[in-house]
Amino acid sequence: MSRSQYGVAMVEFVIVVPLLLIILFGITELGRALYQQNTLYTALSTGSRYMARSADIVVADTNSCTKVSTLWDPAEAAAMNLIINDSNGNPLIPSLLKATAEIEIDAIPFPLPKTQLDGADVEDEWVCVITISATTGFDGMFTDPIIPFTGIKPFQIMAETEERYIGR
């Protein structure tokens, strides 16, 4: 009976190790995806904060936000640099440099409801809100597929942020 058990441990090892490796790689890639998602959101928040505090780049009109192009374009370029690069000029997420990455910066009008102390409605004040959204591919450890031996393809990470324009 004991002679027939000699190879059982090795067969079990050969069956279990690939499954454990797939789980290990999956957890690692999930952690990297969450890290890149958080980094992207933080970068967009920094960019929107910069744009919201850039002086005189937007003029708030009723139902519209007019961009002052001579001031908007340099501010947008500086915000893009804050979003894409760290303080040393290295990319925060390498996939943001690819042609498939999409970063959109815009100023949209938003009604700010007002009421008087007696509860009577007053005409809404229109403010500008800076919105930044980004979509880029996940930059994993493995190129294609994302987890070896599974056929799972890479996916997109997205983030979006808004900040009220202050302009001071």
CA proximity to 52, closest of 34, 70, 33, 72: 72
Distance between CA atoms of 66 and 60, rounded to whole angstroms?
A: 6
Residues 65 and 59 sit within 8 Å (Cβ to Cβ):
yes
Distance between CA atoms of 138 and 156, rounded to whole angstroms?
A: 6
Whether the pLDDT of residue 145 is over 60: the answer is no
Residue 149: band (very low, low, confident or very high) from pLDDT cuts 50, 70, 90 = low
Question: pLDDT tens, 1-54?
Answer: 566 677 888 889 999 998 898 888 888 888 988 999 999 999 999 999 999 999
Q: What is the pTM of this model?
A: 0.80
DSSP E strands: which ranges in the chain? 58-61, 64-67, 102-115, 121-137, 156-164
pLDDT value at residue 143? 60
